[in-house]
Amino acid sequence: MGLILYQIVFYMKLFFRVAVVTIMVIVLLLAYNFMSFKSIQPEALDQNPPTIDSLAALHLSKAIQFKTISHKVEMLDKKALNGLVKFLETTYPNFHKVAEKNVFSTHTLLYKWEGSDTSLKPVMYMGHMDVVPIERATEEQWLHPPFSGNIQNFSFEKLSDSQKEHKIHGVLTIRGIEKEITISCHLKKMKKGLSLKTNFNVLASDFEIKIPKVVRNKISQEINITAEYDLIEKL
């Protein structure tokens, strides 16, 4: 009996010692990993708001104003959908000249735009033109009416019949070279659109325009651009 008790005590001590050693090894490993671990933090997002092309903002604003609600078949506003389709055609005529347009089920549009390298695999972009109605009793929660197409710090309705100065940001393309610019322009409201007049300078070097050495000293490095547009709604 005494021998059995001795063996039990012996194995318990042995087990305890092995357990203690194992725990110490685990602690050492954890400490080593903790000391050698390099924290990998995600890069902070740019807090500056993205630059938005002013003309693109105006186009988006106009597109939003088409109430293309189709929550139910009986609620489908065909007039609004037809208006949006016509708006896309008149606003982006160059795209419609090169893209192949197919129409399915009266209002489903499929555009095929051939790329310059036909050996590459095609890419499909999908979207929808219809929207669901806003929930009832939530109108007061909107900062602006959902279909107003409101642009912050700009309102077409606030334009007057007399010209007033505004800042416009966009992309200027000369000889295939694009550059973001911000210019001053004068806008005024017209009966079915608006009138824009602007005058600004750009550097020839920004668009890789090389002036011949013979006349380099006689020609300004700045290019003066004057533009007058009457933007008329054709819907």
pLDDT of residue 143 exceeding 70, the answer is yes
152 with 177, same domain: the answer is no
- Which of these ranges, 83-87, 94-98, 220-224, has the smallest mean pLDDT? 220-224
Q: Residue 173: which CATH number?
A: 2.40.128.110
Which residue, among 198, 200, 190, has the nearest Cα to 162 in the 3D structure?
190
142 with 163, same domain: the answer is no
pLDDT in tens, 39-48: 565 665 555 6
pLDDT of residue 159 exceeding 50, the answer is yes
Residue 13 pLDDT class (50, 70, 90 cuts):
low
Q: Does residue 99 sit within a domain?
A: yes
Choosing from 108, 126, 158, the residue where a domain stops is: 158
pLDDT of residue 223 exceeding 70, the answer is yes
* Average pLDDT value for the chain: 78
Average pLDDT over residues 89-111: 89
154 with 57, same domain: the answer is yes
pLDDT of residue 5 exceeding 60, the answer is no
Which residue, among 227, 167, 171, 169, has the nearest Cα to 197 in the 3D structure?
227
Q: How many domains does the chain have?
A: 2
Residue 75 makes CB contacts below 8 A (sequence gap 6+) with 69, 133
pLDDT of residue 7 exceeding 70, the answer is no
Q: Are 169 and 49 in contact, with CB atoms under 8 Å apart? A: no
Average pLDDT over residues 59-63: 86
95 with 142, same domain: the answer is yes
Place of tokens 């322009």: 185
Highest mean pLDDT among 17-31, 114-128, 163-177: 114-128
Average pLDDT over residues 133-146: 83
The whole domain housing 183 covers 159-235
More confident residue, 63 or 149: 63
119 with 94, same domain: the answer is yes
Residue 235 pLDDT class (50, 70, 90 cuts):
very low
113 with 200, same domain: the answer is no
Strand partners, 154: 151
- Which of these ranges, 24-33, 54-63, 87-96, has the smallest mean pLDDT? 24-33
Average pLDDT over residues 64-73: 81
Taking CA atoms, 23 is separated from 12, 20, 221, in Å, by: 16, 5, 76
